[in-house]
Every structure is written in C-alpha cells, then in structure tokens.
Amino acid sequence: MEFILQIRIYYEDTDCGGIVYHTNYLKYCERARSEAFFKAGIPPLKDGIGFVVKDMQIEFLSPAKLGDLLEVKTTLLEQKSASLRLSQSILLNNKEIFKAQLTLVCLDSKTQKITKIPLWAKSIFTSF
C-alpha cells in the first residue's frame, strides 16, 4: 500500500533555468511524510514524539520543470520497534524521476533519545 501526495512545481521551486532545484526533492518527500500524519488527524510531533531521518540513499533520474504536477509515493518497507524503512519516489506523468530509500527513527524530543514507536504512529505507517 502507498501514500500519494501531488505537488505542483512553482517558480519558487526552480533554478534560473526553470528546473527544480535538487534539494526541493527532499522537501517534497518530507512534505509527503508529514502529510500522511495530517491526513490521519495527527501532528507529525505528538506528545514530544517524532521521527528523524537516520540515513537516506537518493537517486536523481530526470528533472522536473516549472508547472509540472508531480506525485510523491511513500511505501513502508519495514517496521521495527523504534525505526522504519521507507521507499519514496517522485513521478512525473507516471514516470519515476527521483527515488529514495530512508530509515526513520522515533525520537523523544525531550530526552533526544531513540524510543519505541507508539501505537498511534504505527497505525499511520501501516496504513500505507
């Protein structure tokens, strides 16, 4: 199962040539992960518990341009007691133009220590 978010490319997303600036792909992926929480009616940081990226492997396959409508797909690959492994891809006209695999860890923002994923968060990730 996947969570899908559509993103329109605006002028502010591009470089002087109208091509999406490379760091924005990471922002789009972050936005899609946050939106999964919002869609479930839960803030991404709840009761001092949130998720941070531990590692990420990315590959840029093709550029997006001003005006394009992209889809960001997020898929849960693996869930452990305190971490998640996700796959995220960005598609333009059903063609993959960016892909990433990442590990998120659950973090207690008060202690700054890794903690077990609470049940309310597990339900969000198992929904996609």
What are 55-78's pLDDT values in tens digits? 999 999 999 999 999 999 999 999
108 given a catalytic annotation = no
Q: Output the pTM of the full model.
A: 0.91
Active-site annotation holder among 13, 15, 47, 55: 15
Considering only CA atoms, which of 98, 102, 101, 78 is closest in space to residue 89? 98
> Is the model's pLDDT at 126 over the cut of 80?
no
- E strand intervals along 1-128: 2-8, 49-60, 69-79, 83-92, 95-108, 113-114
Q: Hey, where are the domains in the chain?
A: 3-127
Q: What is the CATH number of domain 3-127?
A: 3.10.129.10
Compute CA 16 distance to the chain's CA centroid, rounded to the nearest angstrom: 26
The pLDDT score that the predictor gives to residue 123 is 83
pLDDT tens track for 2-24: 899 999 999 999 999 999 999 99
